[in-house]
Amino acid sequence: MSPTEAKHKIEKLSAEIEIHNHNYYVLDKPIISDYEFDKLLEELISLETQFPEWQSSNSPSQRVGGQITKEFKSVKHQYAMLSLSNSYSIEDMIDFDRRVKEGLGFGTSGLFQEDISYVCELKFDGLSISLIYENGELKQAITRGDGVQGDDVTINAKTIKSIPLKLNGHYPDKFEIRGEIFMPRPIFESINKEREEIGDSPLANPRNAASGTMKMQDSSLVAKRKLDCFLYYALGNDLPYQSHFENMLAAKSWGFKISEHAKLCKDIDDVIAYINYWDKKRYELPFDIDGIVIKVNDYKEQKNLGFTAKSPRWAIAYKFKAEQVSTELMSIDYQVGRTGAITPVANLKPVLLGGTIVKRASLHNADIIEKLDVRVGDFVFVEKGGEIIPKIIGVDLSKRSQSAQKTEYISLCPECHTPLIRVEGEANHFCPNENQCPPQVVGKMEHFVSRKAMNIDSLGSETIIQLFKAKLIKNIADLYDVKKEQLLTLDRMAEKSANNLLSGIEASKNIPFERVLYAIGIRHVGETTAKKIAKKSKSLDVLMHASKEELLEIEEVGDIIADSIAKFFKQENNKEIISRLKMAGLQFELSEEQLQQATDKLTNHIFVISGVFTKHSRDQYKELIELNGGKHTGSISKKTSYVLAGDNMGPEKLKKAESLGIKIINEDEFLKMIM
């Protein structure tokens, strides 16, 4: 590979990995398995090793984790929460044991030790948490965040009954203990059953459910989710013992929930036996694990081994490979989403996979079907990695029947029979009949009432479908015309339920403009983009009449989003719906309070933000810049006015700022500018 080819490949891999980091750590919606992600990262590291001239200080290989969320106060960790190196084979484990022994000097300089004691622990699949205790009382709970700083979720952590608020026995005056918050599978299944009964979409998996729950702002809702927490690592200057396993036993006596399955292993053979045992037995547990964590037990040995930039040399994670099974493809269905996107779904002969019975798997789009040459009647290989929706990864051609017919992708919408279209450059086919196609109409209304949009709790999917089938609503504006007497004609709709629904609809009229903008469902305009558009345009009237050039001036708005906005407001049906929503009293402009907070103090100033901050998160500083009329970009140029720098500012940015004479300011100096 030439240096130029390597440069392009590194850039492509970096961008792809960052997308997956965002999906996993911010959105909690991974689209690939952990194994696939690790392979991408390994490829990037290998290329950067071969071509160090193309390695950027902002490369995903240099990162500890993902971006920090904004819902809670950002807190800097006293001890960085580093990630662990991953392994997928017994050979990797033997190599790890060799590196540990070499790192400790055994077998050299006259020193020799036959074996190292390791502690093996289940790798829980949940949300990493750091708990700070002072004088035996819980003082703070902090999420992992990006490894350097995380979110203060103390209020929510206190609702988890397995996290002690006060300790027992003899404990250090101040220490930190880390663990994993998770949702037990029986609780997860119970919640999903309830959600299906009220017409809500089920939670994706226990890991995402636990992570999403800890981000809820209402702690009473967190308490109802019945989360649990295992603790597995203590840090502090006054821990009672000089070994990890003994300190975990001590922590158990203080009141912490320590897994009974942790084991002190005398050598690497003992470790391998532990791994093999749990690779088979993991599905019998009432919670999810995705591997085994192996740690050197002795603290002195840990200290001597030290750390790399990203992970400790004295610990490693053995990740279980995604399980694969072969089963028969019985048929293919085509689902229509709220945007009109068509998703092919494989109906499978039921098969046990990852501890659950799998009956369906995603086929994604026509290109995937063509690439795999999947045919009804084929025996297909199905994989489920990291509790993600099962997917078909291949076909067992040796079992293919000679009569198997090549799959022809549908040309008409399966719901309304409108001819499908496929926009150049997009993977999916679409049904263009967005105003009459039932799944699209219902999907738009389900999106409109969702928690991050209009948040009408009492109006679930099942009720929307009832109203739609009864011809009481045919678009989102109709919701505000529904009468109580109409509701009472529906099945299972008593007076109290009708009153609650109408109250919820009435309360939604106070939802702020940026969420209303997200709720009306302009294609490609997500929650974050809607906020930026609302702050820039300040009202829907301004947005409706904005030119493409004006739209492109808004951060995160490119050609595709600008064209989508223009197309949306050109359609007469959408104009009519907006007009009716205005008459109903929805908020279509920023509130007076929001407008009062806005200033022009930073007008014509362009900022670049770099480093780790203590008073606000990076995203909060971006909002403050926008609120006061400024702009922020990711790279330094001659047009940059200031670099807002925190701790550990990127060396490349520092060098470039100094070479261009760009003024570097700290948090206090920036905050004075907007006072």
Q: How far is CA 135 from the centre of its chain?
A: 35
Rg (CA), the chain: 28
Torsion of CA 110, 114, 119, 125, to 10 degrees: 100
Please name the residues in contact with 130: beta carbons below 8 A apart, sequence gap of 6 or more. Answer: 77, 81, 141, 142, 143, 144, 150, 176, 177, 178
Cα 342 to Cα 156, 372, 410: the distances in Å are 39, 18, 10
Please name the residues in contact with 380: beta carbons below 8 A apart, sequence gap of 6 or more. Answer: 326, 327, 328, 329, 346, 348, 361, 374, 392, 394, 395, 396
Distance CA(511)–CA(154), nearest Å, equals 27
Residue 241, classed as helix, strand or coil, is: coil
> Can you read off the two tokens belonging to residue 19?
């997308």
3-state helix, strand, coil in the chain (%, to 5): 40, 20, 40
Please name the residues in contact with 342: beta carbons below 8 A apart, sequence gap of 6 or more. Answer: 334, 335, 336, 410, 413, 414, 420, 428, 429, 430, 431
Q: Give the active site residue among 29, 70, 73, 123.
A: 123
* Cross-strand partners of 341: 430
Long-range contacts of 529-538 (CB under 8 A, 24+ apart): 529/556, 529/557, 529/561, 532/556, 532/557, 532/626, 533/557, 533/565, 534/590, 535/590, 535/598, 535/626, 535/627, 536/626, 538/589, 538/590, 538/595
Residue 523, classed as helix, strand or coil, is: coil
What residue type is 449 in one-letter code?
A: V
Q: Let me know how many helices (H) and strands (E) the chain has, helices first.
A: 25, 20
Distance CA(355)–CA(369), nearest Å, equals 27
Distance CA(120)–CA(262), nearest Å, equals 6
> Can you read off the two tokens belonging to residue 590?
């920023």
Please confirm, yes or no, whether 123 is among the known catalytic residues.
yes
Q: Which of 117, 90, 122, 121 is nearest to 265 (CA)?
A: 117
Strand arrangement of the beta sheet that strand 606-610 belongs to: 631-633, 606-610, 642-645, 663-665
The catalytic residues are 123
